[in-house]
Amino acid sequence: VTAGKPLLLHACCGPCITVVHRELTREGFDVTAYFYNPNIHPWKERERRLETLTRYASDMGIPLEVDGEYPLEENLRLLLGSADRCSACFSDRLEATARMASGMGIGSFSTTLTVSPYQDLSRIIRAGENARDKWGVEFIFRDYTPLYRESVRLSREAGMYRQPYCGCIFSERDRYLRRR
Ligand code: SF4
């Protein structure tokens, strides 16, 4: 068995990694997952998503690196201080992933964020390319939004926790505001 090409996959949660891990593996990548998401508020919600991801990674035999820090103040300052909150949020997470990949000697990185039809892909691409340029690791971008429904189905079948909002406390509020 020839080893695949090593790739560090930024993972935000269990449901999103299902199809993304499968597709990258099919492409021949040897995937290690990386959880760095200080944008998930509050703490209990972060714990819940991380637990779901950890269980799935363990069941599937996916190596998982977890950033144990939870710099909430720093993250809130970043989001509040940015004219474009989501771009700053993507950059923070993808830069951390590229830096981690570089430190681990892994030559490429990607993210599970591109499975969600609710995210702006062009901002994710820009953040990934900037992180690539800064840390000298290849950014693997794939549009996985056509697989979103399948990820919903797979995660439901597996009885996974599915989060009702993107992550930050602002997105938690906005889901209610949108419904009104
Ligand atoms: S809505 Fe999502 S992507 Fe945008 S800042 Fe909040 S957590 Fe980050």
pLDDT tens-digit readout, 64-81: 999 999 999 999 999 999
List beta partners, residue 110. Answer: 9
Which residues' Cβ are closer than 6 Å to ligand 1?
A: 39, 79, 85-86, 89, 166-168, 170-171
Instruction: Tell me how far the alpha carbon of residue 5 lies from the centroid of ligand 1, in angstroms.
Output: 30
Instruction: Tell me how far the alpha carbon of residue 172 lies from the centroid of ligand 1, in angstroms.
Output: 10
Of 3, 5, 4, 19, residue with least CA distance to 137:
5
DSSP state of 105: T
Query: What's the whole-number mean pLDDT along residues 9-37?
Result: 98
pLDDT for the residue 71: 96
| HSE toward the beta carbon, residue 102, CA cutoff 13 A | 15
Question: What is the C-alpha to C-alpha distance for residues 91 and 75, in angstroms, rounded to an integer?
Answer: 12
Buried-state track 27-38, b at ≥16 Cβ within 10 A, e below 16: eebebbbbbbbb
Closest ligand 1 atom number to CA of residue 86: 4
Question: What is the C-alpha to C-alpha distance for residues 56 and 32, in angstroms, rounded to an integer?
Answer: 13
Query: What's the whole-number mean pLDDT along residues 84-112?
Result: 98
> What distance separates the 2 farthest-apart alpha carbons in the chain?
55
Closest ligand 1 atom number to CA of residue 90: 3
Burial class (CB in 10 A: 0-12, 13-18, 19+), 130: middle
104-155: pLDDT as tens digits: 999 999 999 999 999 999 999 999 999 999 999 999 999 999 999 999 999 9
